[in-house]
Structure 1
Amino acid sequence: VQIDLIIRGICCLKPDEEYSKNIRVRSIIGKYLEHARVFYFKHSEPNYFISSADWMPRNLERRLELMTPIYDERSKAKLAQFLRLQLSDNVLAYELKNNGEYEKIPSSEKTIDSQQTLEEYVSKIYKTLKKDTDQSRATHLASKLFKEN
């Protein structure tokens, strides 16, 4: 089973060891410090969860944190699209190597900056909602914009 982790900061896991051969650790470092806490698991059916916490001892042992499943199929599809975008980032992404150092993901001809793409997406939705007071129309347009990205 291949496991992809998108980690914002410290990661104690050492990739490419016997216990972590199938684990890839990526970090996206850009102007936005905040990051998604989205969990995707697939056995027979894909399962998505969102959480308020990073999985660090201080968060799990000393705070009240929440994690909830996502049941709505459209929301699952959006989360899948966001995760694919972040895993495709080749502008801001780094991969954790076995020596504990992060190595920049090489850019290809088609550069993908996940933070810029998401910023543009959210800006389009905001502008649409600001101009359009009809919520159903705004929701329709936001959905259309999301499909275009």
Structure 2
Amino acid sequence: MKVADRYLNRELSWLRFNERVLEEAGAKGNPLLERLKFLAIFEGNLDEFYMVRVSGLIEQFESGTLETSPDGLTPTEQLRRISQASGPLRQRAANMLHDTVLPALEEHGVHVRTYTDLSDRQRRELDKLFQSDIFPVLTPLILHPAHSVP
């Protein structure tokens, strides 16, 4: 057995963990709001994964780092495998939300709408709420020119 075969890739292992979170979102035995919570956790985890771990691999790639991970994968190979694994996971989550969770919420009187779904009156009320309660507490971020926006 090669040394690299003795190790699991940290990034791919983390994606498998997050897949188990997604499986909880799809478990019909879990209460509906718990399933929605698991979907939110899955998406939040995946966002953080891309901001921290994938951005680190991209930095390694851009710097020309050819060093391999303990399992023998280069940054480029890891990025390719992450892309192959995460795309279908994100699609499963979207399908689960739109095909199962949102319709079930509708049945219980919870209606999730986009801004374009709202009437003119509802949009005005929402705009007013945003201007009075949300916009004043938004914190501007100063970004250094050498760093990209997350």
TM-score by length of 2: 0.28
TM-score by length of 1: 0.28
Q: Tell me which protein shows more helix as a share of its residues.
A: 2
